[in-house]
Structure 1
Amino acid sequence: MSPRLILGQLRANAGRYLGTVLAIAVAVGFVLASVGVLRTISASADATFGLRYAATSVLVQNLGDRTSVGTDAGREEAAEAQRLGLEAIASTPGVRAVTVDTQSYVRVRVEGRAQQMTTATALSTDDDLRWQTLASGRLPAGPGEVAVRADSDVPLGATFEVQPSGRSDPAPVTVVGLFDLSGQPDLEAAFPLYAVDEQIQRWSASGAGGDVRVAGDGSVPDTDLAGRITERLAGVPGTSAVEVTTGTAEADALARSFVGGREVYTRALLAFTVLAVAVAALVIGTTFAVVFAARVRETALLRCLGASRLQLRLSGAAEALAVAVLATAAGLALGRAGVSAASDLAPGLGVTIPLQEVTVPPGAYALAAAVGVGITLLTALPALWRATSGSPLGALRPADVRPDPWWRRLAMVVAGSAVAVAGWTGMTSAVDSRSVVEAGAWGVLTFLGVLAVTAGALPTLLGMIGTVVGPVLGPVGLLGARNTARSPRRTAATSAAVLVGVTLTSTMVTGIALLGPAIESRLVDRVPLDVAVTAPDGMLPGGLPEQLAGLDGVADSLVVVDMYARDDDGRRTVLRVADPSRVAQVMRREVTLPGPGEIVLPESSPVAADARDGDTVRFRFFTDDDGRDLVVRRSSDQWALAAPGSVPDWPVAHLPDGSPWPEGQEIPQQFVPRTEQWLRMDDDLEGESLEAALDGVRSAVVDADPSLAVTETFASRDQIAGSVRTVLTSSSLLLAVAVALALVGVVNTLTLAVRERTREIGLLRGVGVTRTGVWLMLVAETALVAASASALGVVLGAAFGRLGAVAMVGPGIAGNIAPPVTDLITVGVGGLGAAVLAAAVASLGAVRTRAAGI
């Protein structure tokens, strides 16, 4: 092996290797960018969902819960249980700080807005446990001061009124701070307030409670600390319903409720890395197959001059190594720049969550370098081996036009079919078990099997099709169509390049399109009710329900009756009474509905906490004499529901002697049913149309009674859907890179293939074919191959994308969403157009070859 020979070969084949270097660099950059961008997005998602629990070692829930207690004595017992529990937690070894996220529901009236029902939460006095990030202003220092979200359109210094729940006297507050809570999922309120604990306690009629967050001192693992706290609380009276978890577990549960868990990002990262490596290998392999196939005659001449096979193979391997090192270095720089560019461009592409600092782990560089160098050598050596095999004189015949024996093609089809079937079987099994990485690996194996079948069968099939289609284009068209069968290796290389690009792009397009609606479905699962209109005293103004039901953007409306249901222990809950069929119509998904003689209770409800699903429990309503035995049905929803007829009717007013209440005389408020109104908005509302529809509801409510409150979960869900959907669909940042890689593979392969056909083109020119005729022949040949490969790639990509989405979010969501047919057609047409355009441009120079070029 002579270094001078290697350098000479590199200089002589610089034109060929320029495209090869570009293909390898883009492939390496693609792998690095895939890992870097997804790792950055994953870290950002972790920070988004885990922000409120970032410094929380242990979370204690239901400690001193007073929300369901109906007596003063019960509230005092709950308060005492909370006091003793906090003392026990604070004295636990390993605990550094404790805070209570005291929370109360209030009504807020901001000038120019309808009154809103929202949450008011106490801020922690511990800097680490206070997770809210101050964007401007300062923290509330005492009663009368609040902080709000920076994106709530309420400026610093603004003053508005807060009406505590159950009270009639509003309290003025001033906004002193704005929190940056971008991307923070919160479906409890669209306009949350944050204040000091003293203020929250004043706003709560029965005393406010909340989750207890504990910060450890680092001396004890979080799980062990949670165990110690559980043991301490076991000896405190009134803490039997307490739940103790770690902050990490709670952050993961929060993420799971929205997008199926933070591990979805890890799975997506690993699966996409497998896909990126496989695609890079195919692109590099296809490129080298064309390069070395074009050098068969050159290799044969060197053999005739005395060079041995070993020398030529070592020389070729050294060339491939030199090209790989150069291209890999360029690809690493390109990939790192691509990650930074993608992060910088993210806001313009719709990524609304705050991305963390760009993260490219060292392992990503090693992986990308291994792909560049290792895959180049692995794919170049077989092509080099074929180029140096056989006799020198036989090798003078170009390899790309050598007819393969029929048995070799048949063997490729049989072997490829077996591999594809095995891969598909393994992939579907992995999808069923929700193993994304395993499914991705089996998917790559399936694609390799399909690629082998395509290489073996497509030239013959296209030759048959060309015999039928070719005559329509005349002799030149027939010649181009028949070339697909006459040059099987060239046809296989061209089809592989197009198939790889179209399949990759179709897979990503399908996966992204299915994951978006899947997230929407998860958000609907959280809060299936769009809008609720409530009154402080529980009585809606007459005529308002009809007015709201007729507004533009309101698809359905339901008035429900509210009453208290108490168990034998005195614990009570607000019970909504309405026709179950109408409840089903106003909800966005199926909810647990009560039948005759049944009551639906949330799983977390402390009322009848010991009753299991199907148990019969005695409930009391307005008086101790109106008890009813109802069958309990547990539900993961947040409402307690009952059907009319299963519970007592609202008491009817009558005179002290029992006679009917006089007609025309005002009925006392205690005999007027307490009601609220539920609204379902039109499904196609979003953006400005959604805001306009909600403004109509707000205006109608304010005009009817300024004290009414509007809870807009539909607006909150739409806002959160944008943030969460962007986290998952930020893979679109990589879609541009994937498209670029696909285009490079197609253009590079076709350009090399056309440039190496000078002898064939010269012969055609010598027998009288015009330049235009040769150009049409090359374009027709490419179009026929690209059309077949694009169609197959779209079908494969749609299948792979759907299975990938199902593996990530489950068949119950992604499996029922229609594929993006229009986008897939665009991808298929784009792949065909890119191939034809590349061949057309490359052919412009090739057709200038004269007969002397033979």
Structure 2
Amino acid sequence: MIRLALAQLWHRPLRYLALLLAVVAAVALTVASAAIGLSITDSVNRTFAAPYAGVASVVEDATEPAPGAVLDRVTTAHLLEEGNLYTTVTITGITDGPLQWRDVIGGRLPEAPNEVATTGATPPIGSEVTLLIGRETVTATVVGAVTPSATEQLLGAGGLVATNDAIATWAPHSTGELRSSVPLNEGVSAAEHIKKVTAEYFSSRNKYFLLLGAFSVVVAIVAALTIYSAMSVIAGARIRESGLVRAIGASSVGIVGSFTVEALVLGIIGVALGLPLGRVLAHYAAGLAADLGIRVPLTDVSVPPAWLAAIGLAAVAVTVASCLPAALSATRRSALDSISGAAGRTLPVLCALVAIACAAAAWFIQPTGVIRAVAVGGFATLAAAGAAALVIPLILRIRVPLPRLGLALGYASRQWTRSAAVIGIVTVAVALVGAVTTGSAALRSHFTDVASSQGTIDVGITSLTGDIDPQLVEDLRAAPGVAAVDAPPKVAEGFAVDPHSPVLRTPIAPGHVSLPRGAKTTTDLPVVRTNNIFPLVDASIVDKPGRTTTALIRLEGGPIQPETALDPVRAVAATSPTPVTMAESFNRRSDIVRMVERLLSITRLMSLVALAIAAVGIAGTVLLSWRERAADRRLLTTLGLTSSLSTTALELVLLVAPATAIGWLVGTWAGPFIAAVATT
């Protein structure tokens, strides 16, 4: 029987093309997804772990160094941009020695009190910068460029580094991170600290990684369904052959074994082609990492051998398992069924049981997370596909007087295995496309709203030396594109404003203090946490006088605008008679929108891959049908009914049209459902 299996593969390779391509696509996609996901995780872990090579203990917010330890102080300064406009920048201490972890990209490390190095693209090496630290103005020379910290790299923000002695002089009360090469009683181990900071980074992005993984699983399910459908059609096309082989003494076990060998060989070939293809795709995707917003270097895009082995074994196992129901069915049919191509009872009953089981699973699973929500949507889709595969052929068992339509209806309703394969593939693929389309729209709408709520204040211009100049406030009101300006008093809780002030994008909570998340302000007044960049308080609940240090600004237009919209405000701020700094919310809002668009681009790409896999499965089914019906075409030609191509096309339409409608209905329900769970 092994010789029979190998002969089938050798002499009729086109029969197995759809199955082979589905295996290759599923393996390649799984390997590529795993490689990119693992590479991102490993790169982020390495980035966070870089400062702690050779470190035993870490103490945060330390004020004094310890023997065998390095205290890298951190302070905030204001870097002169133009005129009297400054930008806020973080200055981190650096100590040359065995615990110094930053690589020198250009120039050298700072050594003197008036020297700094940059962690970003600007300012350039050799330039002089003016820093305002407290009320002291410091002029420093940029002597080098060094690698950024994990936070700077992952957020795309640059900073400055200086000697710890210089920072202690500029900001005597500054604190920093103490890294010790020997264990300390206080603090935590370096391993625990690394685990903490990486967990904080991934926790805020966990849902998006899960969502991408879930879409990969759904695409793999489409591929598995295509494999199963292709093998079912192949088994159906070989019913006559199976009968002949049994007639000359072969056992049913031997025939099933022959099918198993075929599936095993095809699975091995598919894995052999899919594994390297997946690695090629992963390396290609890694080259586009920057375009996708991935700020960590993906230098080692690989999958551990154990993972590759597991993916390969899983693909072979799915291929072999998919052939068994069809092979068993092919050995249990009568000669009459073999001649007519009619389906036996085993597969329809099995299909009904699977549909019922999937429907029950979708009903009873509680969608308490992204994976569970995707599971509910997936089971609902499989249940709908199984039900459609049973019901549509039954509905098509109608008699019509039109010969071609009647023939198409007969093929579609009587050859159940082939029809069920097409219906199942189309239903699942269209459901995936519907879910991606409607789910993407829901995610985009949600995150656009989230981005819009990132800061009810568009721009804030703050004086660095005292009260803001009144003439500057008037000049800002007259600046092009400015809708409203307010200079509210600054009290202990925040800026005292009217909850419905025109300077606010959205009103603040009346009778409350609206504090930014993470703000450490303490107050006895009611507090709500917000995504604002400034602390705000309802002016009616505070009666303390305050200083007018800041002009709050709302620009004309929507909450999401390009950075160039700030140019008129920036130009006016630069003319201030006293030093000022500017804070704005547009960049943070745009970052959220860009992140979502990248995520949706990846999911749309996955849906296209699923469609391609489904198209291969349908094309393979149609090709097998065309080859198998050669004798039918010759008979029909003698009767004058020559347009067999139109009959095949009509049969395909009769199957695809209702399956598409069912898949779209399920997908348009599943997409918003999963998106709602992912965003709560």
- Give TM-score scaled by structure 2 length: 0.85
Q: Does 1:109 align with 2:66?
A: no
Matches within 5 A, 1:254-269: 254-256=201-203, 259-261=204-206, 265=209, 267-268=210-211
Q: Does 1:501 align with 2:439?
A: no
Q: Which has the larger radius of gyration?
A: 1
CA distance in 2, matches of 1:385, 1:742: 25
Matches within 5 A, 1:184-195: 184=151, 192-195=159-162
Given candidates 328, 332, 357, the residue that maps to 1:389 is 332
Quote the residue 1:531 is aligned against.
459
* Paired AA for residue 141 in structure 1: E
Quote the residue 2:105 is aligned against.
135
* Paired AA for residue 586 in structure 1: L
SS at match of 1:586: coil
Q: Does 1:316 align with 2:259?
A: yes
Given candidates 204, 209, 214, the residue that maps to 2:174 is 209
CA distance in 2, matches of 1:526, 1:126: 40
Task: State the 1:208 CA deviation.
Answer: 3.8
Task: State the 1:125 CA deviation.
Answer: 1.4
Quote the residue 1:633 is aligned against.
527
Task: State the 1:359 CA deviation.
Answer: 2.5
Given candidates 90, 93, 101, the residue that maps to 1:120 is 90
Task: State the 1:493 CA deviation.
Answer: 1.0
User: For the Cα contact (< 8 Å) 2:451–2:589, is it kept in 1?
Assistant: yes
Task: State the 1:380 CA deviation.
Answer: 0.7
Quote the residue 2:230 is aligned against.
287
Task: State the 1:289 CA deviation.
Answer: 0.6
Ranges in structure 1 where 5+ consecutive residues have no aligned partner: 64-81, 232-243, 566-573, 616-630, 652-671, 812-854
Residues 1:119 and 1:805: Cα distance change in structure 2 (over 3 Å) = same
User: For the Cα contact (< 8 Å) 1:31–1:368, is it kept in 2?
Assistant: yes
CA distance in 1, matches of 2:269, 2:648: 32
Residues 1:575 and 1:684: Cα distance change in structure 2 (over 3 Å) = closer
User: For the Cα contact (< 8 Å) 1:559–1:578, is it kept in 2?
Assistant: no
Q: Does 1:97 align with 2:69?
A: yes
* Paired AA for residue 342 in structure 1: A
Ranges in structure 2 where 5+ consecutive residues have no aligned partner: none
Task: State the 1:424 CA deviation.
Answer: 1.7
* Paired AA for residue 36 in structure 1: A
Residues 1:417 and 1:278: Cα distance change in structure 2 (over 3 Å) = closer
Moved more, 114-123 or 449-458: 114-123
Deviations 1:272-296 (A, max 9, x none): 5644553332121011011111111
Residues 1:733 and 1:494: Cα distance change in structure 2 (over 3 Å) = closer
* Paired AA for residue 715 in structure 1: N
Quote the residue 1:577 is aligned against.
496
Task: State the 1:720 CA deviation.
Answer: 7.2
Matches within 5 A, 1:553-564: 554=482, 557-563=485-491
Residues 1:482 and 1:370: Cα distance change in structure 2 (over 3 Å) = same
CA distance in 2, matches of 1:273, 1:634: 39
CA distance in 2, matches of 1:6, 1:30: 28
Task: State the 1:121 CA deviation.
Answer: 1.5
Quote the residue 2:247 is aligned against.
304
Matches within 5 A, 1:794-809: 794-807=664-677, 809=678
Q: Percent identity?
A: 27
User: For the Cα contact (< 8 Å) 1:529–1:714, is it kept in 2?
Assistant: no
Quote the residue 2:142 is aligned against.
175
User: For the Cα contact (< 8 Å) 2:19–2:617, is it kept in 1?
Assistant: no
Residues 1:12 and 1:251: Cα distance change in structure 2 (over 3 Å) = closer
Deviations 1:670-700 (A, max 9, x none): xx844432435743645xxx13211122112
Matches within 5 A, 1:641-656: 641-648=536-543, 650=545
SS at match of 2:139: strand
CA distance in 1, matches of 2:549, 2:474: 17
User: For the Cα contact (< 8 Å) 1:413–1:457, is it kept in 2?
Assistant: no
Quote the residue 2:361 is aligned against.
423
User: For the Cα contact (< 8 Å) 2:418–2:621, is it kept in 1?
Assistant: no
Quote the residue 1:164 is aligned against.
133
SS at match of 1:580: coil
Matches within 5 A, 1:578-617: 578-582=497-501, 586-587=504-505, 593=509, 595=511, 608=522, 615=524
Given candidates 533, 549, 554, the residue that maps to 1:679 is 554
Moved more, 154-163 or 730-739: 730-739
User: For the Cα contact (< 8 Å) 1:416–1:449, is it kept in 2?
Assistant: yes
Task: State the 1:358 CA deviation.
Answer: 0.3
Task: State the 1:365 CA deviation.
Answer: 1.4
Residues 1:347 and 1:636: Cα distance change in structure 2 (over 3 Å) = closer
Task: State the 1:767 CA deviation.
Answer: 1.8
Task: State the 1:388 CA deviation.
Answer: 1.6
* Paired AA for residue 22 in structure 1: L
User: For the Cα contact (< 8 Å) 1:162–1:172, is it kept in 2?
Assistant: yes
Residues 1:202 and 1:758: Cα distance change in structure 2 (over 3 Å) = same
Residues 1:306 and 1:189: Cα distance change in structure 2 (over 3 Å) = closer
Residues 1:269 and 1:98: Cα distance change in structure 2 (over 3 Å) = farther
Deviations 1:28-86 (A, max 9, x none): 222222322222233345456776778877664555xxxxxxxxxxxxxxxxxx34xx5
Quote the residue 2:7 is aligned against.
8
CA distance in 1, matches of 2:583, 2:462: 8
Quote the residue 1:621 is aligned against.
none
Deviations 1:599-646 (A, max 9, x none): 5667866665xx6xxx4xxxxxxxxxxxxxxx3536466755443354
CA distance in 2, matches of 1:44, 1:519: 27
